Amino acid sequence: MIFTNYTSKRLMNKTCYFSGATLKDYIENLPIDFKDYNIQRGIVSNVYLDKIVETILNKGHIPAITLVAYTIGTAHNDSTITINEFKILDGLQRTYRLKIVWDTILFYESIFKHHGEDLKTYSKFQLTRNFSKQLREISSSTLVLERLIQSEMSINQIINCFDEIQWFEIWEGLSPEEEVDKMLLLNAGHKQVSLRHQLELLYLNLVPYLDQIKGTHNDLVLLREKDVSASSYSKARKQGQFHFSHIITSALAFLVKDTITTNANLISKIQDHSTNEEQGNYSISYSFLNGLVEFLLKFDDYLVQFYNNDIGIQWISRDTVTIGLFGALGKYADNKYSLSHSEVFERFLGILTSTQTDLLRINEYNNLRSNLDLSRVNIGDVTKKAVYWGILKLLENGDPIDWKECFRGADL
């Protein structure tokens, strides 16, 4: 794709080009997987962006879109630049809706050949009845089609609206870490990127290895925050499903040997991460990640077989449980016996499977948790600490967990 380049700025080994191209060229050269850039969140609901068709028809201003490119060719004293491959760093939501409008215009053009000016007499109900299926296939709606049809412009004039110049910032030479930092900065004034999504971004280097683990564990399903929120996941979790953000927080809780909270302070510590004792170790090795996932799958199997219903599946769907669990496992491994992660995982599973006694007593846990006074306590902090103490005591004495004592201690 060719852009007209207006100016450029070089910073160290990175270059930013401020350029322009027509909306039509941009949309027609979008990669097929333009929505699948790992560091981007998914498409979010936004009623203002949904009205972008009005901006297009009025030839209004659309804020600059930021792209990241890996090879850029220049010509004519840098007056034009050529990009063969790019990803959207900022502007995914706008791009998604621009493509919908463009695809709807092309659809309008195709049905006009058969229906002509009669389309202007169609009610919204008639448009929905006749074209809703085709519109859904391009992620569009009757509202967009109706707005185009009711426009006073001809189809050619509507198409020409996409000849307007769109501005772009195009970055070359960014490292993966710099891409994440810049994306978070660019989104700072927008709808906040969820903390869990930010956490996932900081550990994207683990995704390829998790894909390798999935290759040897067909029952493992990894879910991302951009695909399904952690809250939605916790309500409908199936066996073998794990949320990527929960895997990260579980690993971090084990490494710091305590409960953690996913907040801005944690994100900041990880970004400035240090291995000193004060800040904690936030580096997750591949071998540890592999052991953690294998443990979770085995623990999941145990919960399903022992409880024979959804109670166990749902119990570990909440990060308040998994954080408390792994914080306790890390504490026990380090302070008591200097066990490796694999040894403490094996010991915990061995305690559970060595008896038919209900050691976890999840029903009691659920009853006590549901009766917490939300006006008096932070339910997340209390439940994480209760699980932490419960698992730690189970590891130490092998007796069924006394959740009343654990919740009472966590509430102090």
Q: Are residues 207 and 306 in the same domain?
A: yes
pLDDT tier for residue 325 given thresholds of 50, 70 and 90: very high
- Do residues 227 and 245 make contact, with C-beta atoms less than 8 angstroms apart? no
Q: How far apart are CA 259 and CA 279, in angstroms?
A: 14
pLDDT at residue 275 greater than cutoff 50: no
The pLDDT of residue 190 is 47
Residue 226 lies in a domain: yes
- Residue 334 is given by DSSP the state I
Tell me the average pLDDT across 330-340: 84
The pLDDT of residue 32 is 86
Q: Are residues 112 and 38 in the same domain?
A: yes
- Which of 59-68, 189-198, 360-369, 397-406 shows the lowest mean pLDDT across its residues? 189-198
- Among the candidates 152, 177, 202, a domain finishes at 177
Residue 118 lies in a domain: yes
Q: Are residues 230 and 133 in the same domain?
A: no
- Give this prediction's pTM: 0.58
Tell me the average pLDDT across 348-377: 91
Q: How far apart are CA 67 and CA 88, in angstroms?
A: 5
pLDDT tier for residue 4 given thresholds of 50, 70 and 90: very high
Tell me the average pLDDT across 111-132: 90
Tell me the average pLDDT across 303-326: 93
Counted domains in the chain: 2
- Write out pLDDT tens, residues 376-395: 778 889 999 999 999 999 99
Task: Return the higher-pLDDT residue of 284 and 54.
Answer: 54
Q: Are residues 133 and 248 in the same domain?
A: no
Q: How far apart are CA 37 and CA 47, in angstroms?
A: 23
The CA dihedral of 45, 379, 234, 316, to the nearest 10 degrees, is 150
Buried b (16+ CB within 10 A) or exposed e, 194-204: bbbbbbbbbbe
Residue 189 lies in a domain: no
The pLDDT of residue 192 is 52
The pLDDT of residue 95 is 92
- Best CA proximity match to 87, nearest among 177, 206, 179: 179
pLDDT tier for residue 281 given thresholds of 50, 70 and 90: low
Residue 187 lies in a domain: no
- Do residues 170 and 86 make contact, with C-beta atoms less than 8 angstroms apart? yes
Helix (H, G, I), strand (E, B), or coil: what is residue 197? helix
Q: Are residues 7 and 114 in the same domain?
A: yes
Residue 262 lies in a domain: yes
Residue 237 lies in a domain: yes
- Among the candidates 177, 204, 222, a domain finishes at 177
Q: Are residues 51 and 142 in the same domain?
A: yes
Q: Are residues 171 and 241 in the same domain?
A: no
Domain extent at residue 6: 2-177
- Which of 136-145, 377-386, 403-412 shows the lowest mean pLDDT across its residues? 403-412
Tell me the average pLDDT across 273-302: 77
Mean pLDDT, the chain, integer = 85
Residues whose CB is less than 8 angstroms from the CB of residue 304 and which lie 6 or more positions away in sequence, other chains included: 239, 312, 313
Q: Are residues 102 and 215 in the same domain?
A: no
Tell me the average pLDDT across 274-291: 67
- Among the candidates 177, 207, 230, a domain finishes at 177
Q: How far apart are CA 45 and CA 80, in angstroms?
A: 35
- Write out pLDDT tens, residues 290-307: 899 999 999 999 999 999
Q: Are residues 212 and 299 in the same domain?
A: yes
- Which of 69-78, 256-265, 369-378 shows the lowest mean pLDDT across its residues? 69-78
The total number of residues written for the chain in this structure: 412
The pLDDT of residue 193 is 56
φ, ψ (nearest 5 deg) of residue 11: -125, 110
Q: Are residues 92 and 159 in the same domain?
A: yes
Tell me the average pLDDT across 144-149: 92
Residue appearing with tokens 């498409």: 43
- Residue 377 is given by DSSP the state S
Residue 401 lies in a domain: yes
Q: How far apart are CA 25 and CA 342, in angstroms?
A: 54
The pLDDT of residue 278 is 44
Q: Are residues 206 and 173 in the same domain?
A: no
Q: Are residues 112 and 202 in the same domain?
A: no
Query: pLDDT above 70 covers what percent of the chain?
Result: 87
Tell me the average pLDDT across 200-224: 78
Q: How far apart are the first and last CA of the chain?
A: 62
pLDDT at residue 125 greater than cutoff 60: yes
The pLDDT of residue 298 is 94
Residue 374 lies in a domain: yes
pLDDT at residue 64 greater than cutoff 70: yes
Q: How far apart are CA 87 and CA 66, in angstroms?
A: 9
- Write out pLDDT tens, residues 90-103: 888 889 999 999 99
Q: How far apart are CA 289 and CA 274, in angstroms?
A: 19
